[in-house]
Amino acid sequence: MAPVTQALLLANIAVYLLQTVAEPLLVAYFALWPLHTEAGFDSGAFAPWQLVTYSFLHGNLMHLLFNMLALYMFGSDIERVFGSRRYALYYLACVVSAGLAQIIVSAVGNWPAYPTVGASGGVFGLLLAFGLYFPRRMVMLIFPPIPMPAWLFVTLYGLLELYLGVTGTQQGVAHFAHLGGMLGGYLVIRSWRSRSRYL
């Protein structure tokens, strides 16, 4: 397993174990809270570092397992393409862009003040990169078990997230954060590609 991918896996698992003993404190200070929230007995308030730290917290064990499975499946291949340093920057950019998308949408929609947690923004950015760099690699869905090329898988998944976000289906899932992670990843890759033409 590539080194940064391995470090991210271990960090997420370690933070989840820490959550089992100090979850209220960690969520209050390190989950991503909307801009209009104020710190209280059972809630936190927005702070800039939360745009990164929220990605290491998870809502439950299944949430952690799905994100870490995707990180394991797609991360190492992308790290080998980008190199470890660029890969780390790319993942961070996807996490931050996902957080910004969630904050903007929650502010515009005047959503209830609940925290956002999870590595999904970074994972969706990796998924986008995988579809761009390995478009013909076959990906097997879990439910249902249907193989399809990576480019099609990424496209359908992105459209599904957009539909679920717009219609408000699966409330409690940060669909626009997922899309924000993909958008941030796309912009980073496009920036790197355009720069390389002139170097």
Residue with tokens 């599904």: 160
Q: Are the C-beta atoms of 79 and 34 separated by less than 8 Å?
A: no
- pLDDT at residue 8 greater than cutoff 90: yes
Q: Which residue has the higher pLDDT, 6 or 162?
A: 6
Bridge partners (DSSP) listed for residue 139: 148
Percentage of residues in the chain with pLDDT exceeding 70?
A: 90
Q: Are the C-beta atoms of 43 and 119 separated by less than 8 Å?
A: no
| Banded pLDDT at 62 (limits 50, 70, 90) | very high
Q: Please state the pTM of the whole predicted model.
A: 0.90
The least confident of 12-16, 122-126, 147-151 is 147-151
| 63 is a catalytic site residue | no
- Multiple choice CATH, 3-198, 1.20.1540.10, 2.60.40.1120, 2.40.10.10, 1.10.540.10: 1.20.1540.10
- What is the rounded (10 degree) CA torsion for 143, 148, 152, 155? 20
* Calpha distance 46→58 (Å, rounded): 18
CA 98 to chain centroid: 6
The residue-averaged pLDDT of 2-29 equals 94
Catalytic residue among 76, 97, 175, 178: 178
The least confident of 15-19, 41-45, 193-197 is 41-45
Catalytic residue among 120, 175, 191, 194: 120
| 191 is a catalytic site residue | no
Determine the longest span between alpha carbons in the chain, in angstroms: 54
Predicted confidence at residue 169, as pLDDT, reads: 66
Rounded (5°) CA angle 162-165-62: 100
* Calpha distance 119→71 (Å, rounded): 9
Residue with tokens 């219609």: 167
Helix, strand, coil percentages in the chain from 3-state DSSP, rounded to 5: 70, 5, 25
- pLDDT at residue 5 greater than cutoff 60: yes
The residue-averaged pLDDT of 43-53 equals 88
Residue with tokens 């969630």: 102
